[in-house]
């Protein structure tokens, strides 16, 4: 059997909070958490330095709170705190699969998680820890998509992997439109011009301005995260060359 050689040595994985729900309408499904943790843990044997940003939509979504009458700043703060819960859960899941993991939060909750410090994050990655970044950017009005790009740039990740429920980026919602076309490669400009729902505008612009490639793929397909790291063809590549 040929030795598996990763194409990327340091990556940032973006997970949505909804990814942890499974078939439920709210919260964290233990079986889904176990599956996701096991998939991510496969990267450890390849010694891939891995950072993770996770959303909080399975617990509280800021914009949904605004729709219910919450102040936008307070709603976003609640959403960022929700990501801390998810980050702790994911760290526990990874550690149960033998992966030493640290949670660094943009919000200081010292009795629960460590505050985010870039130098500390880099040191942990070099020591072999997986690092879960919680509380988004720590600022309202910014999504966890933007936080993922920001943290990726800060830790000098080679690529951002965005895990979704579909196998890439399509011209339209493939569930609603059977004629939707899947893209194997897109430039940042094409994403912006076509208004494709890859990440929010701020995140895509930040990635484009710093030439940070983005891979969108289906995390629910076993082995896909490993294939992506090995450079195999999965999902849609945005930027970084075809």
DSSP code string of 159-224:
EEEEEESSSSEESS-TTT-TTPPEESEE-HHHHHHTT-SSS-HHHHHHHHHTT--EEEEETTSTTH
Largest distance between two CA atoms of the chain: 58
Answer with the residue of higher pLDDT: 164 or 237. 237
Residue 76 pairs in a beta bridge with none
Q: What is the mean pLDDT of residues 180-209?
A: 93
pTM score above 0.85: yes
Sequence-distant (6+) residues with CB within 8 A of 164 are 16, 216, 217, 218, 219
Q: What is the pLDDT of residue 1?
A: 43
Q: 4 pLDDT band (50/70/90 cuts)?
A: confident
Answer with the residue of higher pLDDT: 173 or 38. 38
Q: How far apart are CA 190 and CA 178, in angstroms?
A: 21
Q: What is the pLDDT of residue 240?
A: 75
Closest CA to 211 of 152, 144, 162, 131: 152
Q: What is the mean pLDDT of residues 179-187?
A: 93
């Amino acid at each position: 059997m040929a030795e598996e050689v990763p194409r990327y040595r340091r990556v940032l994985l973006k997970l949505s909070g909804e990814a942890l729900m499974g078939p439920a309408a709210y919260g964290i499904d233990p079986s889904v958490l176990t599956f996701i943790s096991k998939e991510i843990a496969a990267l450890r044997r390849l010694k891939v330095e891995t950072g993770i940003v996770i959303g909080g939509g399975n617990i509280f979504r800021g914009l949904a709170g605004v729709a219910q009458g919450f102040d936008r700043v307070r709603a976003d703060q609640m959403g960022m705190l929700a990501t801390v819960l998810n980050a702790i859960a994911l760290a526990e899941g990874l550690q149960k699969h033998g992966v030493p993991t640290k949670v660094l939060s943009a919000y200081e909750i010292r009795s629960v998680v460590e505050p985010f410090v870039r130098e500390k994050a880099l040191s942990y990655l070099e020591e072999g820890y997986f690092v879960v970044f919680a509380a988004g950017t720590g600022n309202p009005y910014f999504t966890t998509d933007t936080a993922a790009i920001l943290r990726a740039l800060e830790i000098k990740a080679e690529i951002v992997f965005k895990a979704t429920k579909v196998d890439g980026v399509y011209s339209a919602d493939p569930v609603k439109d059977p004629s939707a076309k899947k893209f194997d490669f897109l430039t940042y400009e094409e994403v912006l011009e076509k208004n494709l729902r890859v990440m929010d505008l701020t995140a895509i612009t930040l990635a484009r301005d710093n030439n940070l490639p983005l891979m969108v793929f289906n995390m629910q397909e076993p082995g896909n995260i490993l294939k992506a790291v090995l450079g195999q063809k999965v999902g849609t590549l945005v930027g970084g060359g075809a």
